Structure 1
């Protein structure tokens, strides 16, 4: 059972690595994916790098430098507000930021694996271009291993140096959103991505195994993959899965404020009354799992994704059933950080009527006529999903992401998957 730690959570959300320890969540995790590392055009190809630069693509996908941001400041330069062990960090220490705290977290929780996650929604720009040839794949993979696993961080802000991050990361998680298309408009994409994704995983596996053989260690290789049938069809699950330790299936974000009508964020089962059309009707967790199994992925390599957040609309009429389900809203509901998006820790305190849909097994909250409508997971929903994981013989579950559940209530429920 694992979860993502978002590097930017240390800012507005005030969620430090220290919180993973103090909340007791660290004892309930087998792995943490640290999100994210970016890949840049560099040295005639594409390489992992460490820079501090605001990501313009999040608010303006048409910006000429969209997708080229980075946050080395959060990664290993800044001084955290709180530390895992309560110790101050010397001003001249070569390593600080989240990386040092992850190292300390591992020392206190030796069973915990830390994995660097590359890409994500905003930083998948160069995966396609960097995977186009064998030479480019070798260059990209080698550069990422050099920074994150060999720990060779560029010296900046008084931090960094050869080998200073060695021993923090136990593997690499590739979060390419998405091969062939469907991600940010600034991404490089190509029909050849379908097979190049497989070849990229093979290259990561080969280089990770070579490093592991030299160090007598097994380095992990995982991937976060889209759960929509259209996304699954743009990859070769039977082929690439052989290189993976496991696959994180992103069974969330099925619906949101980009839809005109209210619908579920992360429902487990399909509702025959769903008003979606086309491939959107296939955006269902159980269907995604079955597609992956039928496509040749072993059950023991699949992890079900669980959101620690919800998606919502405002201006929602009651509709014939009085609960606002499948009704047209006027806009995305106001969120603390993003329109139509809110962390569980906020949603749990919202007033309104909560419903557990008998078919989809998803919770939704309706505040009343013309008000807000939110779909999210709570401990009851997660218990159903954990049972599903056990019944299906899957490897486990993971969540996006830790700071949405600051006190660990949801992570405690997911932990029962063991």
Structure 2
């Protein structure tokens, strides 16, 4: 087990925000692991608000959140207070102990924490001018911040279009249990204009500000069960992410910039010192300072402050071809390094003002030739908190032969020019990257072909196809949850290559290569065995209502 990465930075953040997690002092490793497992089971987290302060006193409120589907009546919150602070009078709960170790239990008349709801109690305290936020907080013996029981990174991309096009809402992260299994959410995507600046738009193909922060989310889709007020300045996905972070205080949310469709202007934005400064400043103002343009009555200065904890760069790809509309220059390689440095410098400058650390991450490619064309890894990696490595789309329906899209090692039967996660990761290691900064990407979708003959082994793999199979949303791809239904129907036969960590289904004509919970466990175990920093998923809306894939990853990371 690697040392925890997140709690040291949370401690610095506590003084800078009003709403703070009560889990800022590390507990012994064994107790922390046991407590975190219990937290996941109980579904309880705790947040703290200092609502008023005067010369020697203050008022604080502690809220116990219950994300499970059953009410909790027997709860205990334990915490200490910083030197110079103490509770003077507490109401709506029972208090015992001293500032070095308080214990709070329900009042004598009882106080259930309802399913999917919360219960709050408050107190007046005395202070000596310093911090007042409780430290070392436990709820029912578990970390008040909730979150996964492991210290690896578990990262999921949540897309701008998940709610509207896939009927997968931020609330579904809670209902499926996936939110409590994640350390990071990367929100995809933010766009960069031809002028080289981050911007918002409702113009099709350029942005969806309505989905981001304009849509009024109804109560049944809302994380906290309360509908958005049409007059509030932050609505939509951004407000739901803010509510999710209040429920899971240890969760980090980063804005991911670019992607396949929106990397068009990165080369221009990175071209000069002036253009780099302009791009970075605009992205920080928009997402981290939260200064959203007013669109359809939403937005305004500071409207989205606190939603995002950092920037994820998804330039596909510096120095080599991605989407055909991209501008590509030989000098992209050096300019990408300079752009990353500019992000790190401006993020650190903002962090000094807000007393917190802002993350900088990136999605990086499969293939050593792309690395050599566009990445100076020895100069880049010190500026990144971590990078997520493409572990999928190794093969797909742009090819006429069926194959694995996300194999760990080379399949001996593969007649194609071979690729595997093992080879991809080794390309980074050979260039001096610390494996702990590498997070392996895994797919929550499959690649499919039709017109496929059985072949000599009768399983359709490595056989010529007539074209892509039709998926729910596009030809050639399908969510895991839909593929699992095909397996359950009995129409398809399931095949595996356990060593490669792959699965595929075949009905005599159509083949889908995909990852199920068994394959996810194998991939996660492999990533752990290589000393990698964790696992990333694209994208979480491909999971089922029970969060089965995310649960498999979480269990493997926790072993």
Mapped contact 1:227–1:250 kept (Cα < 8 A)? yes
Q: Work out the CA distance in 2 between the residues paired with 1:175 and 1:253.
A: 16
More divergent stretch after superposition (223-232 vs 164-173): 223-232
2:437 is matched with which residue: 285, 293, 301?
A: 301
Say which of 100, 103, 108 aligns to 2:242: 103
Matched, 1:310 2:443: no
Q: Distance in 2 between matches of 1:337 and 1:30?
A: 29
Name the structure 2 match of 1:413.
552
Do the aligned residues in 2 keep the contact of 1:131 with 1:137 (CA within 8 Å)?
yes
List aligned pairs for 1:186-265, cutoff 5 A: 186-234=325-373, 235-265=375-405
Quote the Cα distance in structure 2 between the aligned partners of 1:230 and 1:74. Answer: 37
Describe how 1:13-162 pairs up with structure 2 within 5 A: 13-42=166-195, 46-55=196-205, 69-81=206-218, 82-162=221-301
- Verify the 8 A CA contact 2:543 2:550 in the aligned structure 1: yes
Equivalent of residue 533 in structure 2, options 384, 395, 398: 395
TM-score, normalized by length of structure 2? 0.70
Partners of 2:548 and 2:517 in 1: how far apart? Answer: 7
- 1:12 is displaced (CA, Å) by 2.5
Q: Distance in 2 between matches of 1:311 and 1:397?
A: 20
Verify the 8 A CA contact 1:16 1:80 in the aligned structure 2.
no
| Residue from 361, 364, 388 that aligns with 2:501 | 361
CA contact (8 A) 2:501 2:520 kept: no
- Give the drift of 1:194: 1.3
Unaligned runs of 5+ in 1: 56-68
C-alpha deviation, 1:250, in angstroms: 1.3
Structure 2 unpaired stretches of 5+: 1-153
Deviates more, 1:103-112 or 1:79-88: 79-88
Alignment of structure 1 residues 362-381 onto 2, 5 Å: 362-368=502-508, 371-381=509-519
Q: Which residue of 2 is the match for residue 62 of structure 1? A: none
**C-alpha displacement at 1:361, in angstroms?**
2.4
Q: Deviations over 1:123-143 (max 9, x none)?
A: 000111110111111110110
Whole-angstrom distance in 1 between the partners of 2:530 and 2:343:
29
Alpha carbons 1:120, 1:175 under 8 Å: kept: yes
Q: Retained in 1: the 8 A contact 2:429–2:435?
A: yes
CA contact (8 A) 2:365 2:389 kept: yes
> For each residue in 1:287-335, what CA deviation from the matched residue of structure 2 results, as whole angstroms up to 9, or x when unmatched?
1111111111111100000100000100100011111111011110000
Separation of aligned partners in 1, 2:515 and 2:379: 32
Q: Secondary structure of the residue that 1:271 maps to in structure 2?
A: coil
Partner of 1:9: 162
Give the CA deviation at 1:54.
Answer: 1.5
Higher relative contact order (CA 8 A, sep 6+): 1
Superposed displacement of residue 358, structure 1: 4.4
Q: CA offsets per residue over residues 231-285 of structure 1, 9 Å max, x none?
A: 22221222211110000001101111100100111111112331213xxx2x311
- What CA distance in whole angstroms lies between the structure 2 residues aligned with 1:30 and 1:243? 20
Encode CA deviations 1:377-418: one digit per residue, 9 max, x unaligned.
111111111111111111100100111003210011111314
The 3-state SS of whatever aligns with 1:349 is helix
Asked if structure 1 preserves the Cα contact closer than 8 Å seen for 2:245 and 2:252, the reply is: yes
Whether 1:383 and 2:521 are equivalent positions in the alignment is yes
1:272 aligned onto 2:408? no
CA RMSD of aligned residues (A): 1.0
Secondary structure in 1 matching 2:396 = coil
Give 3-state SS (helix, strand or coil) of 2:447's partner: strand
Bigger CA radius of gyration: 2
Residue 357 of structure 1: CA displacement? 1.5
Report which stretch shifted further, 119-128 or 76-85. Answer: 76-85
Cα drift, residue 359 of structure 1? 4.1
1:65 alignment partner in structure 2: none
Q: 1:270–1:359: 8 Å Cα contact kept in structure 2?
A: no
Q: 2:322 aligns with which of 146, 158, 183?
A: 183
